[in-house]
A and B are shown apart, each in its own frame.
Chain A
Amino acid sequence: MFFVFAVAVGVLFAAGVFLMLRPSVIRLVIGLVLMSHGANLLIFVAGGLRRGTPAIVADGALSPPAGYADPIPQALVLTAIVIGFAVVAFAAVLVKRVCRVMGTDELDRMREEVA
């Protein structure tokens, strides 16, 4: 299972970097989305992949059961997803605006027009 997740993270990063290297700014944003998903998935996996052992302290016990699923990476990943959502929403609006102002979605052509 761990291997599958490792490959998934790798594929997300590779696809993200590939899209970012394209000339279109829209693909750039999609690439950023994929890359941040890769990072989120990596944090999730970093907490360990365990099922059926929630980090809940049973009655009378002082600590959660051995081998419990660490809740902190899940909290971290939730925070990161929320932040990523806001940032991507902003980036999408920015790209829309850039395309309209510049009349193109190609980064290279924007440079020519500014100079």
Chain B
Amino acid sequence: MAVVLPIVLPLITATIGLLVRRRVRVQRAIGVGGALALVPVALWLLFRVLHSGPQTVHMGGWPPGFAIAFTADVLSALLVAVTAVVAACGAVYSMGQIDSRRIAFSYFPLFHILVMGVCGAFLTGDVFNLFVWFEVMLIASFVLLAMGGERLQMAGAIKYVAINLISSAVFLVAVGILYAVCHSLSMAELPARLAIIADSNPSLVVAMAALFAVSFAIKAGLFPVFSWLPASYHTPPAAVAAVFAGLLTKVGVYAFLRMFASVFPPLDPVFAAILVVAGATMLAGVLGAVGQGDVRRILGFHIISQIGYIVLGVGLVGAADPQVRQFAVTAAVFYTIHHILVKTNLYFVAGAIETLAGTGRLTRLGRLAQHAPLLAVLFLIPALSLAGIPPLSGFWAKLATLKAVLAAGYPLLAAAALVAGLLTLVSMMKIWNSAFWQAPPAPARIRGTARLSPKLIGPMVVLAALTVFIGLFPGLLFAWAEQAAVELISAGMPGPLDANMASGTTEGGVM
């Protein structure tokens, strides 16, 4: 039960919310209450997985192979826990920011369906159901993105919808071919079957891996196919953009981790390509940010660059040394968790800046540090963490990634990562200087701190505190990330290591 509860709870919340669609106050209460309730549920799942190994539920009590399987290993449980935290913060922030017209238009039910899709994608044990959860998440995100119907939103939404539908079609083709070849779509059975096929017909496996990689690359926002992200993420309200920025691209990253660190056997051409793409993504993201003059647009480009760092870890799964492999995946998992918290927080800050000053354009902002000192601190923590300044979470994430890259023997990629890190710092300082420090060029229309309600400040404080906590005590999260990496890699290698996975409990859920 613990495994499916993070999916069932948002579904219940969304359903109740739809029943009281027009009553804005009730909607707010249910939306926020449901999101807050998800946190203990997700933490309970994480606790159970950490203490008694991976949990699998076969729905309806059908035997494995016939039932719909949900599996929570440490990676899934960790990501679900972070999703719950982000969803709770996002719901509280929405309460302070989303207008009642949007709420009456079922904003909160859609928000919870989005969360359900994200949790489902993290917990499913079947490649086709991964597709289904992707679609659940996407449909909710389509409506959240277009809701309100402003001109700018429409232009962003059409690009977002089109590119995501293309990605889904590619994903579907990949799933079809995978089934035709392997006669299974279960993530537990696929590694062994793919390993056999890779021996006899490696090019077929490479072709399938390439199809999956293209589809996930679009969803994660990797190098040649990222332009939809900066074109759409600055258009919806900041609460929506923050949750999108934190979670949606990370579902693509999770799919990368799951499929390439565990399901597909390490094949040289695939992983070499992923490494090249990851390097290009890091640089393309930061360079794209240089020319931007709007806070949220700058942040959008930095999502791309950070995704590059994470995928670098996935690419190193092709490394020959098993220790490097494990360390790289550990770094990728750590980086993902850190990035979800930090990026969501930065979008929250961007939303607060827009609330205070009425604009996110850097040329029209200034002296916010004087008017809103707390907001300035709340910007600096995630911004410096994003750039990788010690002792914040981003420093350890970058350090681990760099160590893995150097250990695998790619000094050029390490150099690219350092350059991207430096440019991130430059970008963050640009926002700091223009928005918080220097005098505004035109007479400012700052309305003072009184306008920032605790509903906006609270979520930012929580996320900033988590960033600082991870920065000061990285060992705890690192140990969990390492456990996640060991499970992921051992699942992909049938053999003595496999016993670890099999020792996990299996329960038959009756739903």
Contacts A/B (CB < 8 Å), 16 sampled: A32-B165, A32-B169, A35-B165, A36-B169, A38-B169, A39-B169, A42-B176, A42-B177, A46-B180, A73-B176, A79-B128, A87-B168, A91-B165, A94-B146, A94-B157, A98-B154
CB distance from A40 to the nearest CB of B (A): 7
Once the chains bind, are B168 and A36 in contact (CB under 8 Å)?
yes
Q: B162 — which chain A residues lie within 8 A by C-beta?
A: 20, 28, 32, 91
Assuming A39-B176, A43-B172, A114-B155, is B132 touching A83 (CB within 8 A)? yes
Instruction: Specify which chain B residues have a CB less than 8 angstroms from the CB of A39 in the assembled complex.
Output: 169-170, 172-173, 176
> B376: shortest Cβ distance to chain A, in Å?
31
Stretch of B70-78, B135-143, B264-272, B361-369 that contacts chain A: B135-143
Taking a contact as CB atoms under 8 Å apart, the answer to whether A35 and B166 are in contact is yes
Closest to B150 in A: A101
How many angstroms from the CA of A106 to the CA of B131 in the assembled complex? Answer: 31
- Please tell me if B175 contacts chain A, counting CB pairs below 8 Å: yes
Whole-angstrom distance between the Cβ of B147 and the nearest chain A Cβ: 11
- In the complex, are the beta carbons of B146 and A97 less than 8 A apart? yes
A15 close to B (CB within 8 Å): no
Nearest CB of chain B from residue A102's CB, rounded to whole Å: 7
Encoded as 1 (CB less than 8 Å from any B CB) or 0, chain A from 90 to 113 comes to 110011011001100001001101
B169 touching A102, Cβ below 8 Å: no
Q: How far is the CB of B315 from chain A (nearest CB, A)?
A: 27
Given A42-B176, A73-B179, verify A90-B169 contact (CB < 8 Å): no
A104 → chain B closest CB, angstroms: 11
Nearest chain A CB to B169 CB, angstrom units: 5
Check: B491 CB closer than 8 A to any chain A CB. Answer: no
Across the interface, which residues of A come within 8 angstroms of B155, CB to CB?
Answer: 98, 102, 110-111, 114
Closest-CB distance, B173 to chain A (whole angstroms) = 5
**A16→B138 CA distance, assembly (Å):** 21
Footprint of A on B, CB under 8 Å? Answer: 128, 131-132, 135, 138-139, 142-143, 146, 149, 151-152, 154-155, 157-158, 161-162, 165-166, 168-170, 172-173, 175-177, 179-180, 183
CB distance from A29 to the nearest CB of B (A): 8
Residues of A contacting B165 in the complex (Cβ-Cβ under 8 angstroms): 32, 35-36, 87, 91
User: Which 3 A-B pairs give the minimum distances between C-beta atoms?
Assistant: A46-B180, A43-B176, A39-B172
The answer to whether B179 touches A107 (Cβ under 8 A) is: no
A95 x B158 contact (CB < 8 A): yes
How distant is A107 from chain B, measured CB to nearest CB, in Å?
Answer: 7
Verify if A8 is at the interface (C-beta below 8 Å from B). no
Closest to B183 in A: A70
**Quick one: which of A76, A86, A90 contacts B175, CB cutoff 8 A?**
A76
Report if A47 contacts B (CB, 8 A): yes
What is the chain B residue whose CB lies nearest that of A16?
A: B169
Please tell me the number of chain A residues within 8 Å of chain B, measured between CB atoms. 37
Chain A residue nearest to B142 (CB atoms) is: A90
The count of A-to-B residue pairs whose CB atoms sit within 8 angstroms is: 99
Extra contacts, 9 of them, besides A40-B172, A87-B135 (Cβ < 8 A), are A16-B169, A32-B166, A36-B172, A39-B170, A43-B179, A79-B132, A94-B157, A98-B157, A110-B154
Bound CA span A25–B185, Å: 35
- A40 to chain B: closest residue by CB: B172
Closest CB of chain A to B339's CB: distance in Å? 28
Task: Output the nearest chain B residue to A32 by Cβ-Cβ distance.
Answer: B165
**Residue A14 lies at the interface, judged by CB distance under 8 Å to chain B:** no
Given known contacts A72-B179, A87-B139, is B158 in contact with A114 (CB within 8 Å)?
A: no
B151 near A101 with CB under 8 A, answer yes
* A61-75 Cβ-contact flags toward B at 8 Å (1 or 0): 000000000101100
Residue of B nearest to A28 (CB): B162
Q: Given A76-B179, A94-B142, A95-B158, A102 and B149 touching (CB < 8 A)?
A: no
Residues of A within 8 A of B142 (CB): 87, 90, 94
What B residues does A94 contact at CB under 8 A? 142, 146, 154, 157-158, 161
A83 near B161: Cβ-Cβ < 8 Å: no
Q: When chains A and B are docked, how far (Å) is the Cα of A56 from the Cα of B157?
A: 46
Chain A residues in 8 Å Cβ range of B169: 16, 32, 35-36, 38-39
Most interface-central of B138, B161, B172 (chain A CB within 10 A): B172
> Which residues on B sit within 8 Å (CB–CB) of A76?
128, 175-176, 179
Closest to B151 in A: A101
Expressed in whole angstroms, the Cα–Cα distance for A75 and B358 within the complex equals 51
Neighbour of A102 across the interface among B128, B151, B170, B183, CB < 8 A: B151
A102 touching B154, Cβ below 8 Å: yes
**Assembly CA distance A76 to B135 (angstroms):** 14
Q: How far is the CA of A95 from the CA of B135 in the complex (A)?
A: 19
Complex alpha-carbon distance, A93 and B105, angstroms: 16
Q: How far is the CB of B154 from chain A (nearest CB, A)?
A: 5
Give chain B residues whose Cβ lies under 8 Å from the Cβ of A86.
139
Q: How far in angstroms is the closest Cβ of chain B from A38?
A: 7
Which residues of chain B are within 8 angstroms of A91 by Cβ–Cβ distance? 161-162, 165
Q: How far is the CA of A110 from the CA of B151 in the complex (A)?
A: 9
What chain A residues lie within 8 Å of B143 (beta carbons)? 90
Q: Which residues of B contact A98 (CB under 8 A)?
A: 154-155, 157-158
Could you tell me if B146 and A83 are in contact, using CB atoms closer than 8 angstroms?
Answer: no
* Minimum C-beta distance from A11 to chain B (A): 15
Q: For the complex formed, measure the closest distance between the CB of B203 and the CB atoms of chain A, giving whole angstroms.
A: 18
The proximity string for A residues 15-45 relative to B, scoring 1 for CB distances below 8 Å and 0 otherwise, is 0100010000100100010011011101101
| Nearest-neighbor residue (CB-CB) of B156 within chain A | A114
